[in-house]
Homo-oligomer: A and B are copies of this chain.
Amino acid sequence: MNQTKTATRVQKSKKPNTLNRDNLEADIIAKAEQAFAEFGYEGTSIATIAESVALSKQNLLYYFPTKQILYKRVLDDVMQAWLGSMTKLATENLSPQDALTSYIKAKLQFSREHPWGSRVYGMEVITGAQFYRNEIKEKVIPVLRQDILIFEKWIAEGKIAAIDPTHLLFTIWAMTQSYADFSTQMCLVLNRKKLSTKDFDAAEKLIVDMVLATISIANQR
């Protein structure tokens, strides 16, 4: 008890430790992520971000020396979280059906749990990836190409229909991504403020159905 109190006092006098700084940086990044998603890069001022974490803008610039560096960190974190959440299509000995089902689940769950980050990434791509192009080239594209190779392997093995593997991946990406990027429009159609668990469940069921129906050999034209 006393020890705890002392420890607290010591921590207090010793100024913020590493953990506190990490937490603060994580907080800044989270708030920046939301701001960039809502107003775009140029539409967001570092003063606004600083205010949302109760810092002065000069103080924010102590932690992130420039706005671009902060923006890059936001995108880095989004990409890392995305790469971490996506299971490889081919890691285990799953059937194409099971592998694709869990792939779609994971990607859709990411849209649900990281809507701001998904949108920041989406806006970066829409505007031509002028800032983050190299990182996308080096870290995202190879993963997508790998996934396409899996599709081709499955086709060669006769496990799925001979659909266009590249565009199949594009459509899966598009459908799952849109549940973050276009949720505003979806909410207007559905007349609700936020997409619910039920909406995501319905989306998952349909997207899985669509993809499985597409790769089903019986359905080939």
Contact = CB atoms under 8 A, between A and B. Distances in A.
B40 A163 contact: no
B168 A206 contact: yes
A125 interface: yes
Contacts of A21: none
Nearest to A170: B186
B38 A128 contact: yes
Contacts of A186: 170
Contacts of A125: 181-182, 184-185
Interface residues of A, number: 59
A202 B140 contact: no
Contacts of A168: 206
Contact of A167 (B37, B185, B206, B211): B206
Interface stretch (A64-72, A75-83, A87-95, A213-221): A213-221
Contacts of A126: 37, 119, 122-123, 126, 181-182, 184
Contacts of A166: 189-190, 202
A163 B43 contact: no
15 contacts: A40-B42, A122-B126, A125-B181, A125-B182, A126-B184, A148-B189, A164-B202, A170-B179, A171-B175, A171-B210, A174-B174, A174-B175, A209-B221, A210-B211, A210-B213
Q: Which 6 A-B pairs have the closest CB atoms?
A: A174-B178, A42-B43, A213-B213, A42-B42, A40-B40, A167-B206
Interface of A: 37-43, 119, 122-123, 125-130, 133, 136-137, 140-141, 144-145, 148, 163-164, 166-168, 170-171, 173-175, 177-179, 181-182, 184-186, 188-190, 199, 202-203, 205-207, 209-211, 213-214, 216, 219, 221
